[in-house]
Chain A
Amino acid sequence: MSDDLIIGNKRFKSRFILGSGKFSLEMTEKVIRNGGVEIATLAVRRVNKGGRENILDYMPEGITLLPNTSGARNAEEALTIARLARELGCGDMIKIEIVRDTRYLLPDNEETIKAIGLLADDGFTALPYMMPDLTAARKMEKAGAAAIMPLAAPIGSNRGLLTKDFISMIIGETDLPVIVDAGIGRPSQACEAMEMGCAAVMANTAVATASDVGAMASAFRMAIEAGRTAYLAGLGRVLSGRGEASSPLTGFLGE
């Protein structure tokens, strides 16, 4: 049985989405190869078409680009940037990032919900980066999102699954793929997210700030695969601390 990641009308084998923009461009191809990555995100603002150090020039053939709207402060700006991404040949998949907070770069769920409507109407496959809030996730699904991308911790913080319980609620309540976006700091945390039932994990800083960027990409690939396999296998039950009584309480029942 195939176990593809399905986003909109596209299918992927890899469940490791790689961020870019935090390590040297010349490393891009190696990191993508080691990570078995099929989807790479990039900030539209970083694209320097026809110019120097253009990130698009470093993306290997066959990779699916997931441009983000970094720099957008409201829904209208997100739409403008998404259209620019399309003009630049980045395709129709867009990660919505709307931020009105420069300190923690936390997403504005309200504006993001609005943006999903605008983008979906314009033919985009919209993937919203969001603060894990179930109510907002439901509204995003209704507005036409193709996946939900809750943050695990503040972006770039490498702090892991701080919002685990809330992400887990969204996984339980939506039919869309849930992709953990931001905050994952180590492969073990990526693995845990996948065990929970996340459809994919996105990482950037965790890989970019490693001493050996290429090796860390491999480690993430393996961790994500392990987590996915464990999820599909069905995790074994966890005993709740005290063990189980050898004589069951209900043993007195005769029939």
Chain B
Amino acid sequence: MKMSGAWCDACDMYPYMEDIGTDILDKVMEAGKEFDPGSYCENDVRRAISAERPGPEDFAALLSPAAPPLLEDIAERARKVTRDHFGNSVGMFTPLYTSNYCENQCRYCGFSCKNSIARARLTPEEIEKEMESIAATGLTDILLLTGESRKYSDLEYIGMCVSKAAKYFSSIGIEVYPLNSDDYGYLHRCGADYVTVFQETYDPETYARYHPGGPKRVMSYRFNAQERALMGGMRGAGFAALLGLRDDWRKDAFCCGMHAYFIQRKYPHAEIAFSLPRLRPFSGHKEDDVKVSERDLLQTAMAYRLFMPFASETISTRESPVFRDGIVNICATKISAGSSVEIGGHSDVADKGDGQFELSDTRSVEEVREALVKLGLQPVFNDYVRSDR
């Protein structure tokens, strides 16, 4: 079992899992242990808002309970920082789910292998059809997702999806189970450039509780996925904590920011991205479990922004149109549109598999584009040129 003074995996590494001998998990866990959300006061937050280059201490203050009374001040600053770095551009993309088979048992996820849902995996022809239908909306940025199954969505299958996407799209991101660096290298050569892995929670105990079985139970292997992706030649790495799993969401938000921070310091060329998920209703989920409010989510997004002004921030379709439009006007820089979380949902190909979660924003590409223009923002359909293959 892998462990250090600061953390411990809940089970042994699987034989296929690559160990890259990195110290970033140690660093994040140590930083996380020192973070005491209750120890910050209004002055710390004010200092963080006006800091030239907010550091980890400022980031911590911005996430603390001392920050919400200053939310409007933080928003003004976050908006300015976003505009300085991104102008009024907002990137548009859509997710494409190609398979919902999964061998994990995440207690919060509709894809868990313990759930009896309609399972499906798109064939190459169906994928082509889905992609054609997405490309017809004008989008050139796609995020490919699969459930975490090495059996039903093996590396070859994912590579096939990426290669097909490369014909239709200029920017390809993948959100699949964690891979070894060579596997990421292979998918990069197929055409993928961005890898996102949700860590879900950074607390080993909470992590073990929510992930009772499957390879995902090995926390350290998942944690080091972004670094392996960069070693494999990927250009960008995406980070996320699923806020609401851990008792104190602030701690997970802090660890997630520090995870990205240490990766960026070690790989200064890496393009950093944050996603902002929180626990939302899914089948078998109780409404009173919702512990993270929109206000909390916005506070987190703005703290990421001030801490890493250059990072891309994506806001989930799980949030309402009003919230998404509001946050994109402050600090989010990427927004999905025309989303479908069902397998085959973009083109209504046969044997539709069930979705991972409920969508709150079902607006089409055109509707999202119009909403952005109304806010004085510039929708960006293409912002990537493949230059290294």
List A residues at the B interface (Cβ < 8 Å). 21-25, 43-48, 51-54, 71-73, 76-78, 80-81, 84, 99-103, 105, 156-158, 204-205, 208-209
Q: Are A71 and B378 in contact (CB under 8 A)?
A: no
Interface centre among A23, A24, A43, A52 (most CB of B within 10 A): A52
Question: A22-B87, A24-B88, A209-B83 are contacts. A48–B387 as well, Cβ < 8 Å?
Answer: no
Question: A101-B269, A102-B264 are contacts. A209–B87 as well, Cβ < 8 Å?
Answer: yes
Chain B 367-383: CB-based contact to A (< 8 A → 1; otherwise 0): 00100010011111111
Query: Is B271's beta carbon under 8 Å from chain A?
Result: yes
Q: Are A21 and B138 in contact (CB under 8 A)?
A: no
Q: Are B84 and A23 in contact (CB under 8 A)?
A: no
Q: Are B388 and A77 in contact (CB under 8 A)?
A: yes
Question: A45-B385, A100-B268, A102-B268 are contacts. A208–B380 as well, Cβ < 8 Å?
Answer: no
Q: Are B385 and A44 in contact (CB under 8 A)?
A: yes
Query: Bound complex: CA of A181 vs CA of B191, how far in Å?
Result: 32
Query: Is B104's beta carbon under 8 Å from chain A?
Result: no
Query: Bound complex: CA of A80 vs CA of B387, how far in Å?
Result: 6
Q: Are B387 and A102 in contact (CB under 8 A)?
A: no
Q: Are A84 and B385 in contact (CB under 8 A)?
A: yes
Q: Are B88 and A208 in contact (CB under 8 A)?
A: yes
Chain B 286-306 residues near chain A, CB threshold 8 A: none
Q: Are A156 and B84 in contact (CB under 8 A)?
A: yes
- Nearest A residue to B365 via CB reads A52
Question: A24-B378, A101-B269, A103-B264 are contacts. A209–B84 as well, Cβ < 8 Å?
Answer: yes
Q: Are A51 and B269 in contact (CB under 8 A)?
A: no
Q: Are A52 and B88 in contact (CB under 8 A)?
A: no
Q: Which residues of A contact B381 (CB under 8 A)?
A: 48, 51-54
Q: Which residues of A contact B86 (CB under 8 A)?
A: 22
Secondary structure dominating the interface of A: loop
Query: Bound complex: CA of A53 vs CA of B271, how far in Å?
Result: 23
Query: Bound complex: CA of A84 vs CA of B376, how far in Å?
Result: 31
- Chain A min CB distance to B244 (Å): 29
- Chain B min CB distance to A160 (Å): 14
- Chain B min CB distance to A176 (Å): 26
Q: Are B84 and A25 in contact (CB under 8 A)?
A: no
Q: Which residues of B contact A24 (CB under 8 A)?
A: 88, 373, 376-378
Q: Which residues of B contact A48 (CB under 8 A)?
A: 140, 381-382
Q: Which residues of A contact B63 (CB under 8 A)?
A: none
Q: Are A46 and B388 in contact (CB under 8 A)?
A: no
Q: Which residues of A contact B210 (CB under 8 A)?
A: none
Query: Is B384's beta carbon under 8 Å from chain A?
Result: yes
Q: Are A100 and B269 in contact (CB under 8 A)?
A: yes
**Could you list 28 A-B pairs, sorted by A, with CB under 8 Å?**
A23-B378, A24-B88, A24-B376, A43-B383, A45-B383, A45-B384, A46-B383, A47-B382, A48-B382, A51-B381, A52-B369, A52-B379, A54-B381, A54-B382, A71-B384, A73-B388, A76-B388, A77-B387, A77-B388, A81-B387, A100-B269, A102-B269, A102-B270, A105-B310, A157-B84, A204-B87, A208-B88, A209-B87
- Chain B min CB distance to A167 (Å): 22
Additional A-B contact list (17), CB under 8 Å, known A46-B383, A102-B269: A22-B88, A24-B88, A24-B376, A25-B378, A45-B383, A45-B385, A46-B382, A48-B382, A51-B382, A54-B382, A71-B387, A84-B385, A102-B270, A102-B271, A103-B264, A103-B310, A209-B80
